[in-house]
Amino acid sequence: MPSPKPGKIRIGIGGWTYAPWRGTFYPSDLTQSRELQHASQNLTSIEINGTFYGLQKPASYEKWYQETPEDFVFSLKAPRYATNRKILADANETIERFFASGVLLLKQKLGPINWQFATTKKFDPEDFEAFLKLLPASIEGQKLRHAIEVRNDTFKTPEFIALARKYKVAVVLAADSDYPQIADITAPFVYARIMGTSDKEAKGYSAKALDAWVERARQLATGTTPDDLETSAAAPAKTAARDVYLYVISGFKERNPAAAMALIKRLE
């Protein structure tokens, strides 16, 4: 019996506006207004960071939709005002404003929403479940995918993983960084952020490291957690095909596009 078809793997970077990319990732004669178009033709996804700091205009979402290929996908960082608060259960109004700001204008190009928490935020089961209940599964018939990026070791527990699975939200896999690594699969998709690019490598990572991440992505797309990634003590998820969103973030940012493109080339 043939193996089930794995999920789709999308690879990208955080944002597309960064001066040191001009003349390296972007051709020196490319106008700034065409940078998103160029980035979307060389990557398969981008995580938008501006949404973390403030609401964007509906016209911006419409413009981003129009400037990118049909099968391109944006992930969005949710507003910090929803996650950087003492009582998460009080985030409802902020969450509603975010989704009313024009997010849905991305249509089928709207990928997962990343709800990122501060390193000081500790796991409070009751309050965290109250927050997860606020995340809409769909709006106006459009299904939504949610990822939660936690950065405190108190979340590395089976109780947290059980909550994430209950609400079908992905726990962001933070890798090559000082943040806790929680590679447990908790949703119908996987969201990974790798942060180890270096100025010592022309493509951000060594060839060996790039090969390793491609292999991990392939395993994750089949619903299997690679043995060399750290998980909680929770039982593994049922093996099933899952889409993978992998972003090259932080590290030596100037090399991130090169690393992402190298990963895409290896996948091909």
The model's pLDDT over 103-134, given as tens digits with 9 standing for 90+, comes to: 999 999 999 999 999 999 999 999 999 999 99
User: pLDDT band at residue 241, thresholds of 50, 70 and 90?
Assistant: very high
The per-residue pLDDT for 165 is: 97
pTM of the model: 0.96
For residue 263, CA distances in Å to 49, 68, 188, 211 come to 21, 20, 22, 8
User: pLDDT band at residue 239, thresholds of 50, 70 and 90?
Assistant: confident
Please state, rounded to an integer, the average pLDDT across all residues of the chain.
Answer: 96
Residue 94 falls within a domain, yes or no?
yes
Average pLDDT over residues 71-77: 98
Residue 115 falls within a domain, yes or no?
yes
Enclosing domain of residue 99? 9-267
Q: Is 47 helix (H, G, I), strand (E, B) or coil?
A: strand
Residue 1 falls within a domain, yes or no?
no
Share of the chain above pLDDT 70, in %: 99
The per-residue pLDDT for 235 is: 84
What residues form DSSP beta bridges with 102?
none
| 160-197 residue pLDDT tens | 999 999 999 999 999 999 999 999 999 999 999 999 99
User: pLDDT band at residue 1, thresholds of 50, 70 and 90?
Assistant: very low
Q: Which residues contact 95 (CB under 8 A, 6 or more apart)?
A: 78, 82, 134, 135, 136
Residue 127 falls within a domain, yes or no?
yes
- Candidates 131, 129, 171; CA nearest to 151 is 171
Cα–Cα distance measured from residue 210 to residue 196, given in angstroms and rounded to the nearest whole number: 11
Residue 2 falls within a domain, yes or no?
no
Residue 4 falls within a domain, yes or no?
no
CB distance 69 to 42 below 8 Å: no
| 128-144 residue pLDDT tens | 999 999 999 999 999 99
pLDDT exceeds cutoff 80 at 216: yes
We report the CATH number of the domain holding residue 164 as 3.20.20.410
For residue 165, CA distances in Å to 14, 50, 64, 155, 187 come to 26, 28, 32, 14, 6
Specify the number of domains making up the chain. 1
CB distance 198 to 248 below 8 Å: no
Calculate the CA 228 to chain-centre distance: 20
User: pLDDT band at residue 4, thresholds of 50, 70 and 90?
Assistant: low
Residue 226 falls within a domain, yes or no?
yes
